Amino acid sequence: MTPIKKCILKKDISYKPIWLMRQAGRYLPEFRKIRKKNKNFVKLCLNNKLVPEITLQPIKRFDFDAAIIFSDILMVPYGLGQKLNFTKGLGPQLGDFNDKSSLIIKKSNFINKLKPVYESIKKTSNNKILEKKDLIGFVGAPWTLLVYMINRISPKKNLKKNFFKDKNLNNNILSILKEYLKIHIKYQVRNGATVIQIFDSWAGLLSEKDLEKYVYQPTKEIVDFTKSLDVPVICFPRNIKNFKKFVEKVNPDVISIDYNIEPKKIVKDIHIPVQGGIDPRALLVDKQSLKNEVKKYKEVFKDHPYIFNLGHGVLPQTDPNMVEYLIKFVKDN
C-alpha cells in the first residue's frame, strides 16, 4: 500500500507522508525552462508529452510520497466551452455567457476537449517511478469554480457586486458543475489517479448562512461520488472558519488545513486524517525558522494520522534547496 493510502485508510500514524501543493511549478528551474517555451498555459496543460514530464520533475528531484498531476482547476470551465486565458500579471481571464445556449454541453465534447489530460494521467501513472507512490488527481470544488465562471477573473479582492444577482444562472451552472466534476473525476481515476483532492480555494469568501447551499451540499455530493469509486478524497476548503463543521457536514477522508488555523485546535476538534497547514512563507526564511515551524506540526500531530503539506501552494520565489531541507527534516527525525 502507498504511504498516503496507509495514512488515510489505515489511519497509520507511524509514518507521516509528504507532498506539496504546487510541487511542480515556477520555483523549479526545469519547469521555468519548459514554461518559457510554452507561453500558452492552457495548451501546456493539454500537452500530453510535457504534462507527464512536468508532473514527475519534483519526484525525480525530491523524495516526495506522491505526485499531483500538472493541470489546473480551470480546465473544467474550459471543457465546458468557456473561453480561458492566463495573462501574465492578471491571472486567469474567462469568457462571458452572452449566449445562454453556450451552457448546453455535450458530454462527448467535454471528454474530447479534456482527453489529453486523461492521456497524461495514464502515461504518468505507468511510469515506474510512481510504483510505490500515489498519483493525485484533482478538481476545483463547485463553489470555487462557480466563482471563476461568474466573476471571470480571480476574486482576490472581492466578488463582483452583482455576483448573486442572477440566481437562475448560478443554480444552473452549479448543477452543470456537479455533473461534469463527477465525469472529470471518473476519467482521472479510470486513467490512474489513486487519490482525489478537491480545492475550494474561495470557501472563505462566503458567510456562514451561504455555506450549506454553495459549499457543504455540493461538495458532499462530489465527495460521496469519489468514495463510490473506491478512491480516497482530500478536501481543502481554504480559509473556512469552521473546519470541524465542514468535516461533520462533508465527511471527506482527509481534511487539508490552511496556515491561518491553529493546528492545536484542529487536532482537538477533528478525528479524521489531517493534511497541511505549514505556512509556505516558512520556506522563504532560513533553515532554523523552517525547522521550528515543522517541529510544531510534528509535535501537534505526533499521535494523529497526518500528511505533511503546506497551508497553500509553494511560492514561486522558493529556493528548491529549502524544499529539499523540509523533506529531509520531516523524514529524518
Q: Write down the least CB distance from residue 31 to ligand 1CP, Å.
A: 8
Cell numbers linked to 191:
486513467
Q: Can you count the helices (H) and strands (E) in the chain? A: 14, 9
Q: Write down the least CB distance from residue 278 to ligand 1CP, Å.
A: 15
Choice between 17 and 92, CB closer to ligand 1CP: 92
CB count within 10 Å of CB 128 equals 6
Q: Write down the least CB distance from residue 132 to ligand 1CP, Å.
A: 20
Dihedral of the CA atoms 59, 61, 65, 69 (nearest 10)?
Answer: -30
Q: Write down the least CB distance from residue 135 to ligand 1CP, Å.
A: 11
Question: In the complex, which residues of this chain contact ligand 1CP (CB under 6 A)?
Answer: 21-26, 35, 41, 68, 70-74, 86, 91-92, 138, 154, 156, 199, 201, 313
Residue type, position 284, single letter = L
Choice between 122 and 300, CB closer to ligand 1CP: 122
For residue 234, report the phi and psi dihedrals to the nearest 5 degrees.
-105, 135
Choice between 114 and 300, CB closer to ligand 1CP: 114
Choice between 71 and 318, CB closer to ligand 1CP: 71
Query: Do 4 and 254 meet the contact criterion of CB atoms below 8 Å apart?
Result: no
Q: Write down the least CB distance from residue 25 to ligand 1CP, Å.
A: 4
d(CA 333, CA 324): 14
**Residue bearing cell 478538481:** 139
Choice between 13 and 42, CB closer to ligand 1CP: 42
Q: Write down the least CB distance from residue 47 to ligand 1CP, Å.
A: 13
Best CA proximity match to 324, nearest among 63, 10, 1:
63
CB-based closest residue to ligand 1CP: 154
Judging by DSSP bridges, how do beta strands 84-87 and 91-94 pair with one another? antiparallel
Choice between 96 and 248, CB closer to ligand 1CP: 96
